[in-house]
Amino acid sequence: MFKEKKPKEPKAPLPPIGKWLPPVALGWLIPGGGHMLLHRRGRGALLALSVVAMFVFGLMMRGAMFEPQTGDLLTTIIYCGGFLGNLASGILYLLSVWLGYAQPDVAGHVHDYGTKFLVAAGLLNVLAMVDAFEIAAGRKD
């Protein structure tokens, strides 16, 4: 009637930082770069294409880039979280800011979707970085 609990397997220790940091850092800077470094060319190319396409579509829709702001709790979460989402796009974000892209937040559905696309590109890149970490750490094939 009662199932016996199985003892948990001990977690594998974290591998040395030199093994997983280069793919994760390169994956942040260049979307898909971590997978390329790990010789997962197909997956790296697909991730690079997806992140770049989402970011470019967001720019074409004139989406706004978030800047960190403080105030009440909700404002802080939205603006700082949005900024981190933008920053997670790596070189795409850095180049667009360096080249002077500064679309103000304006009303309109297209601009709003563009802003969401810009943040979603960064969040997809975070997932790619986690995947590169798991592959480099030997937790995933």
Distances (CA, A) of 141 to 62, 77, 114, 133: 39, 35, 34, 11
The residue-averaged pLDDT of 111-130 equals 96
Torsion of CA 24, 28, 30, 31, to 10 degrees: 90
Range of the domain at 116: 17-136
Tell me: the pLDDT tens digits for 79-94?
A: 999 999 999 999 999 9
pLDDT value for 90: 95
Q: In the chain, pLDDT over 70 holds for what percent of residues? A: 99
Count of structural domains, the chain: 1
Mutual orientation of helices 17-29 and 109-136 as an angle, nearest 10°?
160
Which of the given ranges, 7-11, 65-69, 73-77, 124-128, has the highest pLDDT on average? Answer: 124-128
Indicate whether 83 belongs to any domain: yes
The token duo for 37 is 């470094």
Indicate whether 12 belongs to any domain: no
Indicate whether 27 belongs to any domain: yes
pTM for the whole structure? 0.86
Sign for the CA dihedral angle at 120, 136, 23, 47 comes to negative
